[in-house]
Amino acid sequence: MSNTPLIISAAIVGAELTREMYPHLPLTPDEIAEAAEDAVKAGASIIHLHVRDEEGNPTQRVDVFETVTEKIRNRCDCILQYSTGGAVGTPVELRCNPVSLKPDMATLSMGTMNFGSEIYENTEETITTIAKAICDNGVMAELEVFDFGQIETVSRMVKKGLIPAKHHMDFVLGVPGGMSATISNLVMLVTRLKEGQTWAVAGLGRGQLPMTMHAIAMGGHVRVGIEDNIYYKKGELAVSNAQLVERAVRIAAEYERPAATVAQAREILGLAG
Ligand code: KMH
Ligand code: ZN
């Protein structure tokens, strides 16, 4: 069994949720920074970051990312990972823009797919454009794989030099339109990885808890948080992102996998400084 410290990524806001859907959703820069600090205090080392505009709508505006980043940095040390996925339908130029602020990491979604009743567009051209923005800014990519074919896309695009060979992998399982959050799917995906490749899984909805448990047992890392799952258990909303992080920490402790400190997470991921 792997005793590697567990990197917990907290997806604290997302782009899809509203206050009507989840009353504790952090929306303002101060609320998002507070949620980030609480998640880090609970054991998260990566903050997967989306931001909202003055109306609470998802935005890829650089000034908002800058404000939120400053507020988070003033409160705590963490690995900041910007979303380049944004919301469904966000034009590719806007998706790339925040990467100019040179966060520690940025996401790179690996294929076009149905996303509920919408289409999440990630053609090879889109992926290449975002990958270039990520590489030009010296940022580490976290590849978001939602479906099995996308892992083939990763191999093909790495071979062509279109996406960075050195990356962190995140399997996002349970999106309606992608692979479901089952252990057999997770095992199938993990077996396709190269030796030494770091990986995490984000299970959506009720898949968050079992995917967390399986990843911990398999030696992978995890993403939890409100972006992916608003429930603590059936019929009971989570009270905060930190509550979901705390649960992952407790389960991991039983497997003798302490939550990675930020420094340990940097080392495991091969992030400089
Ligand atoms: N909001 C989703 C359409 C990412 O952050 O990189 C895309 C997403 C992926 O959340
Ligand atoms: Zn996201």
Helices (H), the chain: 29-42, 62-75, 92-96, 124-136, 148-159, 183-190, 208-218, 241-254, 262-269
Q: Name the closest-CA residue to atom 9, ligand 1.
A: 85
212-245 pLDDT, tens per residue? Answer: 999 999 999 999 999 999 999 999 999 999 999 9
pLDDT at 272: 75
Q: Which residue has the tokens 């009270």?
A: 239
Q: Residue 251's pLDDT is what? A: 98
Cβ-proximal residues to 167 (8 Å cutoff; 6+ apart), any chain: 108, 140, 141, 142, 143
For the question of an ipTM over 0.90, the answer is yes
Distance 114 CA to ligand 1 centre (A): 13
Q: How far is CA 239 from CA 24, 42, 231, 236, in A?
A: 7, 13, 8, 9
What's the total number of domains in the chain? 1
Rounded to the nearest angstrom, the distance between the alpha carbon of 99 and the centre of ligand 1 is: 15
Cα separation, 268 vs 273, in Å, equals 12
- The Å distance, Cα 253 to ligand 1 centre, comes to 29
CATH at 178: 3.20.20.70
Atom of ligand 1 at shortest distance to CA of 48?
A: 5
Q: Is 74 part of any domain?
A: yes
In a domain, 68, yes or no: yes
Angle at 56 between CA 50 and CA 61, to 5 degrees: 50
Kindly tell me if the per-residue pLDDT of 68 is higher than 80: yes
- Residues of the chain with pLDDT > 70: what percent? 99
Rounded CA separation 82/109 (Å): 12
Give the total residue count for the chain: 273
- Is residue 234 helix, strand or coil? coil
8 Å CB contact between 244 and 232: yes
Domain assignment of residue 1, yes or no: no
- For residue 230, is it within any domain? yes
The predicted model gives 31-43 an average pLDDT of 99
Which atom in ligand 1 lies closest to the alpha carbon of residue 58? 1
CA angle 121, 126, 132 (to 5 degrees): 150
pLDDT at 211 exceeding the cut of 80: yes
Nearest CA to ligand 1 atom 6: 85
**pLDDT tens digits along 177-210:** 999 999 999 999 999 999 999 999 999 999 999 9
The domain containing residue 83 runs over which residues?
Answer: 8-269
Tokens of 97: 């823009």
Give first-to-last CA distance, the chain, whole Å. 29
- Is the overall model pTM greater than 0.95, yes or no? yes
